[in-house]
Chain A
């Protein structure tokens, strides 16, 4: 019995080690300290914080999902994984599989109004409650623009 427990622990450790070694992991963000790579603001709110990791292992941190999209568009780095937080659980999720609600009533740090969800039904429920539409990653990449063309206004 005791041996089997030890064996299980060893196996689990082995699996854990393999998982860790197998690919990039979401970076740690020091909230209240780390600045956003795009806008330079301090990242404070995990609901909207985003990040990507490049193929050569560099992490870029963002305070707003929109800033990640805009930054990536400007710099075209070779990205291994894009991460966002699930708006409700605040867990890291792979952005390419996430569902995004774009709503003026979501007050995100840089005003893009984007909230991410790991499953479609919760995203749709949120959009029904707060207004806004649900988008996938591909659409997000294509459509995201800074929230307000301040310079085009008088």
Chain B
């Protein structure tokens, strides 16, 4: 027996394609149990069956082609390893569940580093306990969703380890009747159910990315699940839940990121048994339609130290009822309007989530049609002003946190970078947060049809009114890729309003397209292309590192230390943002805007709060970004900024474009005047004044220099006059007069 085993372990069989004496199936049949087959690159025509313990190693990625007949590779024996193959072209029968690899009645199977393509089901385990499925790629058929098979399916296959796999376009990843599975570091995209658990106990789900599925993870009739450090992104379908539970008990959900789902968390009859623990802790739940959606009878769920960040509704019930029967103590709510007088970090008044419109909607579902419309907003504000009915309180947090909890969501990549003790930044996010909500820009299949070919940004007939006043009245603007365009005009010309309309922060008339996408209809997709640097940031007490890490967590990226270093922010990591100089604040804003590498940057008066040195440095940074291909649109009323950066100047006045000119022509055309501040030696001050007045300038003194106003394109003339009189000007600052 020992001898046989040793023999088997020594048996290495080399298989090459096109061998006239022996096909791969024949080699498998001839191999002794326990042997290793080294299968070399090329195409092998199947289907194939492995009915004894064997190890198949693909060298140079050999292809197993099922020729469209049934399952490509069937495993019917324990301890089979299949590594490094392309497995393709299964049958198409949903009835027979044709798969790439099917392991049936086979314990301890290892499937590693295989690429499954053009298969109905991907990897299918039936009664196959203790399987290891690692680093495989499964791409489903490009057929309607109803005709697809599952990317990965486990059926009565407990103790599986499923790690580092990526699936796209499959129907579901199914884990049914299979206890104690571990799913770690997988990426499941574009399917129906990212993961569907049913009748599974004791499962671990860690560090996975669920992106753009109908539902990220749905857990049904299961017990003892822990979900940690997963990212639930962009589940935006009609029932687009990030993570959903039905009839489940003993659940821990910790340190996950929920971003941009229709509803981040859905609860139906969970916990099922009274007193069974269901805990959500330290999750970041941001920018979802609904943060937590629960059926009315859900009770006894614990929410601790979660961050509820700018969800359209932080929590809601489906149908009538409240969420008061769960424990909401000690979370951070971005819409908390209370205060912390005793400075203990806990708000002194409870957080109460309520919403007027919802109570109406529950009574009259057709009102859902108005969901998210100005009509709804009007109704809400009316109800707040004139409480003609009592808004329903949905939940209460008696001890809301003033600062977000100390722990970060564990990053899916294993990066444990914490974002510690963040301050409140609602204003910041309201102003700029949407800018970071882009997914990496994807090519739009109909860009060409929808936009002027060369435009990356196209504004047509833009109008915006605040009360009686028109801030923008009919503006057209085209920006081409790689261009730097300045919006020029005095304060009140409408520049900032235009930028905010482009960002979708203001509701405007007219059309705005970013890379072909209508900002109003496809705002989210459009904003993926834009990074926004506002005029001023409100960061409160966050440190630089906290700020960077928070936004990185939100974006699902890591903070890139080289970029932080390149922007000269490294030495300031532990400084509170409010203590930074204007220049450093602006660099931080740029670092945030550049997260996710958007092709377009919008900048609102980028140098408004900077001194001369910082301005010069900032401009050179922006020039560098432009040289790297970024498209820039910025508002400005500083000539040197425009002349140093812009390719084109759009001159605005009273909400309209009055001219489009070159930066060189700007000074002249606008008849601009610059206000100079000349620094002079104190003893020369009086003589300098006399020299300049003699040349026709009117001057004023500020103690250590003179202030005078000159035509913008004649700034150096007074310096020359003084030079000729033997007075040296030590320094000069200037700005344009409005």
Contacts and interface: CB of A to CB of B under 8 A. Distances in A.
A150 B238 contact: no
B221 interface: yes
Contacts of B246: 39-40
B223 interface: yes
B146 A35 contact: no
A44 B192 contact: yes
Nearest to B174: A107
B249 A42 contact: no
Interface size class of A (residues with CB under 8 A): 20 to 34
B222 A41 contact: no
Contacts of A107: 97, 155
B234 interface: no
A111 interface: yes
A12 interface: no
B272 interface: yes
Nearest to A30: B238
A40 to B, nearest CB: 6
Interface string B140-184: 000011100000000100000000000000010000110100000
Contacts of B232: none
A151 B272 contact: yes
B223 A44 contact: no
Contacts of B215: 41-42
Interface string A26-38: 0000011101000
A42 B221 contact: no
Interface string B613-648: 000000000000000000000000000000000000
A57 interface: no
A123 B102 CA distance: 28
Interface in A29-76: 31-33, 35, 39-42, 44-46
A41 B220 CA distance: 10
Contacts of A35: 238-239
A122 B164 CA distance: 45
Interface string B216-230: 001011110000000
Nearest to B196: A41
B333 interface: no
Contacts of A33: 238
A44 B196 CA distance: 14
Interface residues of B, number: 33
Contacts of B176: 111
Contacts of B220: 39
Contacts of A110: 198
A153 interface: yes
Contact of A153 (B97, B201, B238, B239): B201
A14 interface: no
A110 B218 CA distance: 12
Nearest to B318: A40
Contact of A150 (B94, B214, B222): B222
A33 B57 CA distance: 42
B200 interface: yes
Contact of B177 (A32, A39, A148): A148
A44 B145 contact: yes
Interface string A93-133: 00000000000000100110000000000000000000000
A129 to B, nearest CB: 11
Contact of A151 (B198, B223, B244): B223
A45 B146 contact: yes
A40 B223 contact: no
B596 to A, nearest CB: 30
B221 A40 contact: no
Contacts of A111: 176-177, 198-199
A33 B240 CA distance: 10
A46 to B, nearest CB: 7
Contacts of A39: 220, 246
B65 interface: no
Contact of B146 (A40, A44, A153): A44
B604 interface: no
A151 B222 CA distance: 7
Interface string B239-280: 100001010010000000000000000101000110000000
30 contacts: A31-B146, A32-B144, A32-B145, A32-B146, A33-B238, A35-B238, A35-B239, A39-B246, A40-B218, A40-B239, A40-B266, A40-B268, A41-B193, A42-B214, A42-B215, A44-B146, A45-B94, A46-B146, A107-B97, A110-B198, A111-B199, A148-B199, A148-B221, A150-B199, A150-B200, A150-B221, A150-B223, A151-B221, A151-B272, A153-B201
Given A46-B146, A154-B201, 10 more contacts: A39-B220, A40-B218, A40-B244, A41-B193, A41-B215, A42-B239, A45-B146, A150-B221, A151-B273, A153-B201
| The 3 residue pairs across chains A and B that have the minimum distance between CB atoms | A150-B199, A148-B199, A150-B221
